[in-house]
Amino acid sequence: MRRWGFAVMRIDAFDPDDIKVLVTAFEGALQKLQLVDRKDPSTTLVAKRIIALAQQGERDPIRLRDAGCKDQLVEAL
């Protein structure tokens, strides 16, 4: 969508209940992957995966957690 000669970004916002689900999924993923350093790039990757799936409408914290862990677990093996 273009207005006034520049692109307008669409920002999807999460409500407070959604945020609780995202935090639960993220914390669960970090625990499952045994990630404790929040500055580790892997934690950012996990968060991005969880957010991307939530933006598609997923709200199950277990599915979100598992999606966040998906490739990280394979790399650890």
Q: Domain range spanning residue 21?
A: 13-76
DSSP-derived pairing of the beta strands 2-3 and 6-7: antiparallel
Q: What is the pLDDT of residues 16-71, one digit of tens each?
A: 999 999 999 999 999 999 999 989 999 999 999 999 999 999 999 999 999 999 87
Q: At what angle do helices 41-55 and 61-76 cross, to 10 degrees?
A: 140
Q: Establish if 7 belongs to a structural domain.
A: no
Q: Are 33 and 69 in contact (CB under 8 A)?
A: yes
How many domains, the chain? 1
Residue 45 falls inside a structural domain: yes
- Say what the pTM is: 0.77
